[in-house]
Structure 1
């Protein structure tokens, strides 16, 4: 059986990567960034998020995922709406880790 904490955390990172890609397309028009900076930066961040979903469950994987939440919120420097989006995903990240940990404990108790 798969580790629910790991599955939920990795899912949050992958969906967050999709949102970052779409947000980078918006950022090219709403920010002072060039198209290359906005779309390229968004693509790099999205790629890091997807690759990091594979690190979840390994030593330091959850800390790395938490750091990426800070990075996504920080993109609000260029697109202020990303602060809200980043905080939303930070909440999902925390929920995935907390609820996943609780499920792991309950399974272990059985």
Structure 2
């Protein structure tokens, strides 16, 4: 799960940066505000890559997805991009857990076969 989720978060890092470039063109927003908000969100996406295996890491990832969709109120295209990345996040968590379970079953099966082979000799 960690690899799939981290890949999604790295993609989000770049999307947030590009959204910041688009938001800079809004005359109502100061450049400092845009880059403070985008910088914090980009940093959060990078830090979450390392926190995925810790308690609450996936939930913080969901919070980032909600913030990404909500950023559509500033950059309207982010409604679509946020929804796409929220779907990717769901798929990463859902299928990543299935892959982790399959790996655990395979490791247990391999370990069981090794023990059975060692007992026969």
Could you tell me which residue of structure 2 aligns to residue 60 of structure 1? 56
Scaled by the length of structure 1, the TM-score of the pair is 0.89
Residue in structure 1 matched with residue 90 of structure 2 by the alignment: 94
TM-score, structure 2 normalization: 0.82
Q: Distance in 1 between matches of 2:82 and 2:55?
A: 24
Q: Structure 2 regions of 5+ residues with no counterpart?
A: 107-121
Aligned residues: 106
Cα-Cα RMSD: 1.2
Separation in 1, partners of 2:39, 2:27: 16
Deviation at 1:54, TM superposition (A): 1.0
Q: Which runs of 4+ in 1 moved over 4 A?
A: none
- Structure exhibiting the larger radius of gyration computed from Cα positions: 2
Aligned to 1:13: 9
Which one has more relative contact order, counting CA pairs under 8 Å at least 6 apart? Answer: 1
Matches within 5 A, 1:2-41: 5-30=1-26, 32-41=28-37
Structure 1 regions of 5+ residues with no counterpart?
A: none
Q: How far apart, in 2, do the equivalents of 1:59 and 1:11 lie?
A: 19
